[in-house]
Chain A
Amino acid sequence: AQTVTQSQPEMSVQEAETVTLSCTYDTSESDYYLFWYKQPPSRQMILVIRQEAYKQQNATENRFSVNFQKAAKSFSLKISDSQLGDAAMYFCAWGAQKLVFGQGTRLTINP
């Protein structure tokens, strides 16, 4: 069975600084995606960034980038130039036919 582990229940960062959220996963499948979703308080889940497992190049979306280490089954999210609007729960997810989520990391941005 697939599992996703986020070892940091909470993280905080100063506005404009950089923060990295960790995620490890376990799977025996070869064709899958990895995702970071953001869930602001009382708001719906939205996609931050995704990575196809067959691609070696790390995905980047503006201030968000990932460090995908397939052999180590590691998928971390780096947020550069943190903004107050980045405050949310962040979920790492493994996906093939369905999504398997980690426990989440609550990110606080300090002004």
Chain B
Amino acid sequence: DTGVSQDPRHKITKRGQNVTFRCDPISEHNRLYWYRQTLGQGPEFLTYFQNEAQLEKSRLLSDRFSAERPKGSFSTLEIQRTEQGDSAMYLCASISGNGLGEQFFGPGTRLTVL
């Protein structure tokens, strides 16, 4: 399977704990995006990378959130000191070129903060 993969698929944590998610994009895609989707809503943009450079961050991405793409391949999204409001589906997507066109989505990581 050469699609976008995400790990883990589900994560349950207690409030105040740190969590880290991983996304592996389609191998030839230079752009990688993170979105957050709460129940019954459309995904909201968090941040994106072109190769290893983080080019834009949403205001939704508080200082408790950090994303990296150190070698321009896989990416990690870390949430520190989780809060119940962080419970959501975290989606990763990738695309080649300048970002115009279809983004290919992974299955998402569902985070539940107790």
Residues of A within 8 A of B (CB): 4, 31-33, 35, 37, 43-47, 50, 91, 93, 95-104
A91 to B35, CA, bound (A): 14
Min distance, Cβ A1 to any Cβ of chain B, angstroms? 11
27 contacts between A and B (CB under 8 A): A32-B100, A33-B101, A35-B102, A43-B107, A44-B108, A45-B43, A45-B91, A45-B93, A47-B102, A50-B101, A91-B43, A93-B42, A96-B99, A96-B100, A97-B48, A97-B98, A97-B99, A97-B100, A98-B33, A98-B99, A99-B33, A99-B43, A100-B45, A101-B43, A101-B44, A103-B40, A104-B40
Min distance, Cβ A102 to any Cβ of chain B, angstroms? 5
Q: Does B73 interact with chain A (Cβ within 8 Å)?
A: no
Our count of residue pairs bridging A and B at CB distance below 8 angstroms stands at: 57
Task: Tally chain B residues at the interface, Cβ within 8 Å.
Answer: 23
Residues of B near A47 (CB, < 8 A) are 102
Residues of B near A99 (CB, < 8 A) are 33, 35, 43, 45, 93, 103
**DSSP class of B's interface residues: helix, strand, loop or mixed?**
loop
Residues of B within 8 A of A (CB): 33, 35, 40-45, 48, 55-56, 91, 93, 98-103, 105-108
**DSSP class of A's interface residues: helix, strand, loop or mixed?**
strand
7 A-B pairs closest in CB distance:
A101-B42, A45-B105, A44-B107, A98-B45, A97-B99, A47-B102, A91-B42
